């Protein structure tokens, strides 16, 4: 048992609380990102994601476990890609582009909402005289992760969204 404790300290993952908060942030950002890909494709006429039960906000439908571990431990990871069939789109190239853009756009919108929540949290906390620093930092860090995920996915290299 002592060996595991020393190993944990050597890996410098931080506290269990910080790991759980990182996992929650990754779940939130990746789930919103992938669900929005599926919703965009569905809105444009492609039922593939719906048939695969990927229009869900259940993170377990979208998370690739190795990708999650890598994201939390190394800051780089991935989710299961949402299946899309461009043959269902009236204009396949435009449909794929809009579907691909939906993921990063959702990350930017999520970041905006998280920053708005952080500002409201700070304003009300100052008025009440008590700021929940953990919650505030979770909002800021998740917003940062969401922006980073959105920007990274715009890079025009396959299999990223920017290449579609």
Model pLDDT for residues 58-114, shown as the tens digit of each residue: 999 999 999 988 887 887 889 999 999 999 999 999 999 999 999 999 999 999 999
Whether residue 43 contacts residue 50, with contact meaning beta carbons closer than 8 Å, is answered with no
Instruction: Establish if 144 belongs to a structural domain.
Output: yes
Instruction: Establish if 164 belongs to a structural domain.
Output: no
Let me know if 34 is a catalytic residue: yes
3 state SS of 79: strand
Instruction: Establish if 134 belongs to a structural domain.
Output: yes
Question: What is the number of structural domains in the chain?
Answer: 1
CB-neighbour burial class of residue 130 (10 A; exposed 0-12, middle 13-18, buried 19+): exposed
Indicate which residue of 17, 34, 123, 133 is catalytic.
34
Most confident of 30-39, 69-78, 128-137: 30-39
Give the pLDDT band of residue 4 (cuts 50, 70, 90).
very low
Instruction: Establish if 92 belongs to a structural domain.
Output: yes
CA distance 153 to 16: 29
Instruction: Establish if 163 belongs to a structural domain.
Output: no
Q: CB pairs under 8 A, 24+ apart, for 127-134?
A: 134/17, 134/21
Instruction: Establish if 23 belongs to a structural domain.
Output: yes
pLDDT score, position 127 = 67
Domain enclosing residue 31, as ranges? 2-156
Q: What is the pTM of this model?
A: 0.87
Instruction: Establish if 162 belongs to a structural domain.
Output: no
Instruction: Establish if 60 belongs to a structural domain.
Output: yes
């Amino acid at each position: 048992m002592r060996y595991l404790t020393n190993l944990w300290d050597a890996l410098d993952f931080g506290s269990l609380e910080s790991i759980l908060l990182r996992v929650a942030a990754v779940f939130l950002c990746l789930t919103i990102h992938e669900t929005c890909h599926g919703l965009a494709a569905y809105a444009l006429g492609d039922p593939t994601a719906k048939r695969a039960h990927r229009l869900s906000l259940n993170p377990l439908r979208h998370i690739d476990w190795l990708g999650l571990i890598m994201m939390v431990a190394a800051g780089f990871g991935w989710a299961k890609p949402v299946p899309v069939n461009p043959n269902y789109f009236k204009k396949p190239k435009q449909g794929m582009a809009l579907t691909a853009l939906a993921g990063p756009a959702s990350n930017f919108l999520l970041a905006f909402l998280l920053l708005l929540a952080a500002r409201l949290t700070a304003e009300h906390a100052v008025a009440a005289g008590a700021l929940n620093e953990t919650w505030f930092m979770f909002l800021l860090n998740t917003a940062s992760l969401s922006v980073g995920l959105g920007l990274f996915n715009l890079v025009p290299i396959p299999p990223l969204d920017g290449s579609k």
